[in-house]
Amino acid sequence: MGKTSMGIVRSTFLLDKNNEIIKEWRKVKVKGHVEESERSCRRSF
């Protein structure tokens, strides 16, 4: 019939000063994600 595709998958990664991943969010929704990632960033640094 046609091609099946996955679409857009948004992901965010929080890195430490050595560029190692310390937190990751997969399949995020825009609503509320900025606040959640900002809280994690403030706790980590």
Average pLDDT in the 12-16 region? 94
pLDDT at 8: 87
Q: Is the pLDDT of residue 1 over 80?
A: no
Burial class (CB in 10 A: 0-12, 13-18, 19+), 12: middle
* Structure letter (DSSP) for residue 41: H
Measured CA to CA, the distance from residue 6 to residue 17 in angstroms comes to: 33
Q: DSSP 3-state assignment of 11? A: strand
pLDDT per residue as tens digits for the range 19-43 = 999 999 999 988 889 999 999 889 8
Name residue, tokens 């509320």: 32
